[in-house]
Every structure is written in C-alpha cells, then in structure tokens.
A and B are shown apart, each in its own frame.
Chain A
Amino acid sequence: MPERSVTVRVNGRDRRAIVEPRLTLADFLRSHCRLTGTHLGCEHGVCGACTVLLDGEAVRSCLVFAVQADGAEVTTIEGIAEPDGQLSPVQAAFRDCHGLQCGYCTPGFVVSLTAYLRDHPDPSDEEIREALSGNLCRCTGYQGILKAARQAAAELGAGA
C-alpha cells in the first residue's frame, strides 16, 4: 500500500509525515503530531470526541483520512487556548459551569461549540441543544455542558 507524503498545518505549525492512506486524521494527530487531546470514543463517526476544525469547519477526525487533509489547516483542542495558557471563553465556561467530569468527550465539545458559536452568535437554548446533539457525553448528563454553552454564547455575543 503505497504511502504518501502529507503536510498539514496543525495549530499553526506545519507537520509533515509519510503515512498510509488509511491512517485517519485522528490517529495522525495523536501519534504523528503527538497531540493526544483529540480522543477516540467510537471511531465510527457518532460520538464526536474526535472533533477538530478542518479548514475552520468542525469535522469528525475519525472520518477523515490524513491524506485527505494534505495542505489543509487543522485546529485541535490544544490550539484553542491562548499560547500563554489563558482559556478561551468556551473553555472557561466549561470550567465555570462544571461542564466536564472525566474530560474524555470534552475536547470534542469545546471544538464543536467554538465553531458553532463563531457561526451562530445568538442561538436559542433549543438551537444549542441541537447543535451539540452530535457530541456524546456519559458523565455530565449534559447539564453543565448546556450551561457552559449558554454562558459562552452570552460572553461571545456581548463581545461582538
């Protein structure tokens, strides 16, 4: 199976590797880039724990092959906070509202919500629920997550 060279700009840095075509973007990020914040919860595109931004759009990185991301820009959870460690409004909201417990689904939620609020700055509660329905959580019962989303929307909206 001929391997291919890929170059992906991850969190602002070019990453080059020679990979098998079947290597998923999720595994490329985790093992080749050593960015283990993107998690594998199901590997069949349902749970959303692997969500990253691909050219700015939230996607399930287990459903993209690394070779498909050649030349693209990827933002992972590690690229969401400020370089000095300051949490983004979405991350801070999760912390404030107890939106995480084990933390395994959290990167997927944070990335998904970051993209969603960027494109929908004034969502209703119902719209937030629908937007987040593609990410599964087992610990929080979604209560803290929905509160966090509301807080982040308010803060980002206020700043707009």
Chain B
Amino acid sequence: MKPAPFEYHRPETIEEAVALLGELGDAAKVLAGGQSLIPMLALRLTAFDHLVDIGAIAELTGIERRDGQIWIGAGTRFASVEASPDAAAGVPLLTRATRLIGHFQIRNRGTAGGSLAHADPAAEYPAVALALGAGLHVRSPRSERTVAAADFFEGLWTTSMEPDELLVAVSFPSWSGRCGFAVEEFARRHGDFAIAGAALGVQLDARGRVTRCAIGLLGLGATPERAGRAEESVVGRAAGEIDAEEIGRLAMAELESVPADLHGSAQYRKRVGAAMVARAWATAVTEAADA
C-alpha cells in the first residue's frame, strides 16, 4: 500500500507555507503529523500533487500562557501538550483529552493543528475546542484571522478554512474558580476513535451552584457537537440536585444527525453518548466540588 507520487515542500516559515498554499491551491495538502493523512495516502483514498510539510516551521510549535488563555502552536505534538504543565494548569480538559488520543506512538507525531484541521467528528480536540469556545488562528497570503470554534467545523472532515489558509495556532480560554473537567469516551478498544464521547467542563460558585457548563460531544454528528440546551439546563442549579442521567438524555435529545455504521446504529450511539455525558458530568462535578 504505497502512496501515489507527490512533490514535497518543506517551508521554514509561515510566510513561505502560506505562499505555497496560495500558489498551489487545491493541488496541495498540508502535512503536519501525518497520522491521519498518510494512511489515507497509503490506501490511495486520496492523492495530492503537492504536500506542504509544516514540520520545520519553528513558529508553529509551542505552548504559551497569554492573557488568560493557553495558546498552542498548530504544529505542537500531542505528546508535548500531554507533558505540558502550562496546559495541565490552564486547560485541563485538553490535557485529559490528549491522553485518550490513539497510542503514545501516534501522540509523538500527531499535532494539535492537524487534528483540528482534519476535523474528524470522533476526535477529541475538535470537541474540546468547541466546548471551550477556542479560537482557531488562521493565516493566508492575504490575511490573518481568528475563527471561533463554533464557526470552524462545517461538515464531515470539512472546516471553514480556505484552500490557501493555514491553521497556525489555537487558543483555549482558561477557566478559574471551582472547576471540574472530564472526558469520557466509549471506543471498541483502547485508543480507537470514539463511538460516542463527551468532553465536559463545569464551574460552581461558592454555594455549589453551577455557574458555567460546557459539553462537547464526539462521534455523535458529522462535526463535533455542543450540547447547548443541556448546558443551559444546569446553569443556576445546585450541582448536587442535578441528575447526571438527565443531563445525558438532554444532551442526546438535541442531536439531529447521529451517525450509524458497522460499530453501531444511531440509537446505540445516543444510548452510549448519554452514558458518557452522565459519567463525565459526575466526575467533573466531583472535582469542582472538591476544588
């Protein structure tokens, strides 16, 4: 299973990279960690005349705390995020999600930007980005802009980026106060793509009432989903009085196009998804209450 031929480019700056993308258009594909792209090339499910490898662009790697946010360069490896104390302190939901990605060999190569740009609805990072309202920072030869996560994921493996745009960084707002975070996903085997999962954050006030809740869902749509109504339903209530299973049910009730495949029907995914939300809720609330 060998890939079809392509021309290879290895720019050393963001400018060079976006210039190449501008010049080559649809004929080019960005190569980041390669953990999703290279299998597709090997299986000849897809082919590109040009690959633009961003692995040599130093500006694209790094994890930084800045203005109450955690900034992660798009070329930053999952393993770096997993090991980062800044990430663990500033956006614990992301750190916990990172541990669930594939296997450690995959995490040594796969990148934050690659996962977000690939936009697999069963992946962890898109769901976390959506839940936390991350900012996706893209650059083209023409401009720089920031896309809110809610506007970034448009469809199955499709983002709102233009062909000549490169994702350069993602910024996650940090939560303060009494917070709890959990990622619960159900996969056939350890490290497999989730059949259904939830990335959840909850913040409580001093009296134990919910002040904030974010629920991102994976594997339950063509894109990551946000369980907005379930989130709204808990705000202002005492955490101890909230039935976890009810949150799970509410989260599933909003979903419109739950996938079905060899591994399960839509109905099955919703059953599992509800359980994942419930379990994530219970874990996160316990952590927040202890905070």
Instruction: Identify which of residues 182-216 in chain B touch chain A, using a CB-to-CB cut-off of 8 Å.
Output: 189-191
B8 in contact with A65 (CB, 8 Å): yes
Instruction: Identify which of residues 57-88 in chain A touch chain B, using a CB-to-CB cut-off of 8 Å.
Output: 57-60, 62-65, 67-68
B177 close to chain A: CB less than 8 A: no
How many chain A residues sit at the interface, stated as a range, is 20 to 34
Produce 1/0 per residue, A37-61, CB < 8 A to B: 0000001110010010010011110
B8 in contact with A4 (CB, 8 Å): yes
Stretch at the interface among A91-99, A130-138, A143-151: A130-138
A22 close to chain B: CB less than 8 A: yes
A21 in contact with B7 (CB, 8 Å): yes
B104 close to chain A: CB less than 8 A: yes
The residue that B103 contacts in the complex, of A22, A24, A68, A134, with Cβ under 8 A, is A134
Closest to A51 in B: B105
**Which 6 pairs across A and B sit closest by C-beta, in order of nearness?**
A134-B103, A21-B8, A44-B39, A1-B5, A57-B108, A43-B1
Closest to A1 in B: B5
B108 in contact with A58 (CB, 8 Å): yes
The residue that B53 contacts in the complex, of A62, A68, A130, with Cβ under 8 A, is A68
Q: Chain B residues with Cβ under 8 A from A58's Cβ?
A: 104-105, 108
A59 in contact with B109 (CB, 8 Å): yes
Number of residues from B at the complex interface, CB < 8 A:
31
The residue that A62 contacts in the complex, of B10, B42, B51, B190, with Cβ under 8 A, is B42
Produce 1/0 per residue, A1-28, CB < 8 A to B: 1101000000000000000111010010
Asked whether A64 and B34 contact (CB < 8 A) given A44-B42, A48-B105, A131-B104, the answer is yes
Interface centre among B10, B105, B189, by most chain A C-beta atoms within 10 angstroms, is B105
Docked CA distance A45–B34 (Å):
10
Asked whether A134 and B5 contact (CB < 8 A) given A63-B34, A64-B34, the answer is no
A142 close to chain B: CB less than 8 A: no
A44 in contact with B43 (CB, 8 Å): yes
Interface centre among B5, B7, B55, B108, by most chain A C-beta atoms within 10 angstroms, is B108
